[in-house]
Amino acid sequence: MGAIGNAEWTGVRLSDVLDAVGAPDASDLFVAFTGADEVDVEGEEASFGVSIAMDKARQPDVLIAWAMNGEPLTPEHGAPLRMVVPGYAGVRSAKWLIRIEVRDTPSDAPIQAHDYKLFPADVTSDTADWSQGLTINAMPLNAAICVPGSGESLPAGEVRIEGYAIAYDRRVSRVEVSVNGGRDWQQATFTDDPEAHWGWRRWTLDATLAKGRQHLVVRAFDETGQGQPERPDTMWNFAGYLCTAWHHVDVLVE
């Protein structure tokens, strides 16, 4: 069972901390983070460690955070301090932060070196050379239907469909919803307009559903005109990373 959320973070800019200690800022350097937690690597415990390039570390929205939604961090969210690296895979936002290090190379911790790597479709987990995998950092444009849920039974007639879209370092410009499996599309209405690019842009659509099994689909577009691919097989990889195809929800209308 997975979960996803959208939160407001409070903290200090990582760039300000780096400046305060006189850290170098050459673009070919990396900033590594170590957490207090440990991960299992082939039956052995190893420290959690990740890194990001210096150029990303110097961006003003990268924080050492101590509060979430106006409240002090709780242990499950990384208290007392955690990283927040917006626009990047969540694994780069190390929790329970105990060390920050400027390095000439990326972190050599197992989670950085042997996980969250992207490989071509013909590579399997047995044949993968982890040193050759593409490190996953930036997240792609995506959208999801949150209401109704998959498999839900609904009364015939007008139904409100709700969800979110996110484009990370760009702005979501349009969301379209289909109630017939992608044959026809209707433009959804945005219900908020966040100032920060990193947050969700929530949307809603009131649509009329006929009786029977109906197939709902959502797709988003960003401010550059980029959209989502229709099918996940165009981006298949053995680990299932970066799947940003149209989101589908099947419902029963009675």
- Which are the contacts of 178, defined by CB distance < 8 A and separation ≥ 6? 184, 185, 186, 215, 216, 217, 218
CA distance 152 to 82: 37
Single-letter amino acid, residue 30 = F
DSSP of 209-240: E-SEEEEEEEEEEETTS-B--S-GGGG--TT-
pLDDT at 240 (0 to 100): 87
Single-letter amino acid, residue 194 = P
Over 90: is that where the pLDDT of 193 sits? no
Provide the β-strand partners of residue 240. Answer: none
Whether 9-135 shares its CATH topology with 142-253 is answered no
Among 3.40.50.300, 2.60.120.920, 3.90.420.10, 3.20.20.450, what is the CATH number of 9-135? Answer: 3.90.420.10
Say if residue 148 is preceded by a cis peptide, omega within 30 of 0.
yes
- Residue 234 is encoded by which pair of tokens? 């165009």
Single-letter amino acid, residue 119 = F
| Average pLDDT estimate for 131-151 | 93
The domain segmentation of the chain, as residue ranges, is: 9-135, 142-253
**Is residue 33 classed as helix, strand or coil in its secondary structure?**
strand
Over 60: is that where the pLDDT of 1 sits? no
pTM of the model: 0.88
Question: pLDDT tens, 26-65?
Answer: 999 999 999 999 887 777 788 899 999 999 999 999 999 9
Over 60: is that where the pLDDT of 112 sits? yes
Give the chain's end-to-end CA distance (angstroms, integer): 28
Mean pLDDT is highest, among 51-60, 109-118, 126-135, for 51-60
CA distance 150 to 84: 31
**Is residue 151 classed as helix, strand or coil in its secondary structure?**
coil
CA distance 241 to 125: 13
pLDDT, the chain, mean:
93
For residue 142, CA distances in Å to 60, 171, 228, 245 come to 24, 12, 7, 8
CA distance 175 to 143: 8
Over 90: is that where the pLDDT of 4 sits? no
Assign a CATH topology to domain 142-253. Answer: Immunoglobulin-like (2.60.40)
Over 80: is that where the pLDDT of 196 sits? no
Over 90: is that where the pLDDT of 151 sits? yes
pLDDT at 22 (0 to 100): 97
| Average pLDDT estimate for 77-88 | 97
| Average pLDDT estimate for 99-116 | 93
Nearest residue to 216 via CA among 175, 174, 171: 175
